[in-house]
Structure 1
Amino acid sequence: MVNERYPHIRFQLERSGTWIHEGLRLDFYMRRLHTQMAQAVMRSLDIYVEAVRPGRLGLYADDEGDWWELDEEAWALTRRNLLERQWPRVLLADADHNPDWFAVEYLGSRRIDDPEWRGSDQEACVLSFWLSTEYLEEQGPARVRELALRLAEPLPWCSGNVGLALQGATILSEATKEVYERCMRYPGLDIPSVRDYSRNIGTRIRGPSWLTFVGPQVLSELGGVEALRARLQSPGTTVEALEGGRAVVTLGEWPEAGDYEKGLLLPAYRELARVLEPWLYEGHQLQHDFPPDELRRWERRFLE
């Protein structure tokens, strides 16, 4: 155990050898053309790199998915791609640890403003940061929460989540019995997919997490910050107003995984899920070892 709030998970997938491990994900979803927010994405990336230590990210994936050293020339290329491409894909990873403790993934959607593309109103750009639980332990939850707010501040996000997750580059394309068993045991462990959400999350919210960022459309429909705050009564839950008619809900001092086998059902997470239910994202594209009925059960794990 890393600590009593979440399990220590380390195992390899048989087919690819990819490591799966617990970690912290910081994900932001934006319904805006990349060209309109390229500088904001770059600023958020710079904040992350400074926080985790310059040089921590040592690898990048090219357009073919091959990995290369993230040297000065590669960093310059990454920045050009972010600032000049219409819909860049950026994937950076930690070169110092196996499994990767730190990573960045960004996917700029090309369909947001395409009226001829069915479902363009549900497309989103997605920016995702990884932190290790070791980093969380070293820095403490208050500093990690502060970092999350700093990363969010430049971005025109519609929603966002910061919480525990099962990390692994191919986790969703190689879902195994081990992954399934853990995500069904620990309700606070997410299994996110940048590509999945970029296609159809729109302005919806991807379920409750330690920090849940609520954008202006959903917050307005909820009746505003005070109305949201009045509906959340669990000890330790706070609602903070942010600029642009947005808010962040924090569920306690630390992120928690819960544990069905021990009766740890995360009541604060369940309360927030009930409040946000009309706006929650469902329809994950996990079509591998997760039977449809069990996938539905996982999606609604805080509601049933």
Structure 2
Amino acid sequence: MNHNPLVSVIVPCYNQGSFLNKALQSVYDQSYENWECLVVDDGSNDSTSRIAQTWTSEDNRFKYFYKENGGLASARNLGLDKASGNFIQFLDSDDFLHKYKLGHSLELLQHANTFQVVISNYLQYNDFAGKAVKPHFKISRDILTYDNIIFNWDNNFAIPIHCGLFSSDLFNEFRFPENLKAKEDWLMWIKFFQKDITVQFIAEALAYYRRHDSNMTNKVNMTIDYVGALRYIRKEIPDEDYIRMLELKVERSSNTIFSLRDQIKDLRSNLGWRFFNKLGKILKR
């Protein structure tokens, strides 16, 4: 194995210039220095271009590419097309990395006979509180399986894409489906785990996922995009797995609805709620 491999860090960005400096600074601060950082501007009309080109002028490891807006998947694909590295590190422009993300991941290679993906844990960065907090989904080695990827995704389990460091060989036969507007990273994990990839795991939190008002997961059309992803996944996994996955999702959704219904009933039976409801009716007269 090359003991000083090149890592290609792919940073897609669309109108998130306000976060871009933090993301690129976290790449610049890496303890491991043999990297290239490919900033893919997906047709932004904010400060993205100016900020990215400031970094390219200061350090030639940063490279800037502009493309017409086509979505996150197409931006990542352009980054993959331009990448020269032995390994791929994805980083969305509103997230950032721990300074040892690349170094600690690559150190693991010295003790592994084979390697395709190193996955680290992560922390959630609360933009409102301005600090890192525990994530909704904590990753552990025992849950990194094909069954969990298929059946438990978004059910107290997910893998933010920048938790992974990937062998570039994995992308010889994979590109993100550009017609998907959501969950394209889920499809990537499905495809890789179908191949029974060799995974190394680092329990240490080496990535930060930022929560803020403009997160893609907060968009109102997310449900429509999610259904589109399910239709695509149907073609990629065995029928029995797909049927079981849908059954579990329906069951969990039903349980959530029933739980919310019970909570509403409890609220309505609460004396305080009845008082304020009656007061509201009086005030409307």
- Answer 1 or 2: which has greater helix percent: 2
Question: Given the two structures, how large is their TM-score scaled by the length of structure 2?
Answer: 0.30
Computing the radius of gyration from Cα coordinates, the structure with the larger value is 2
Question: Given the two structures, how large is their TM-score scaled by the length of structure 1?
Answer: 0.29
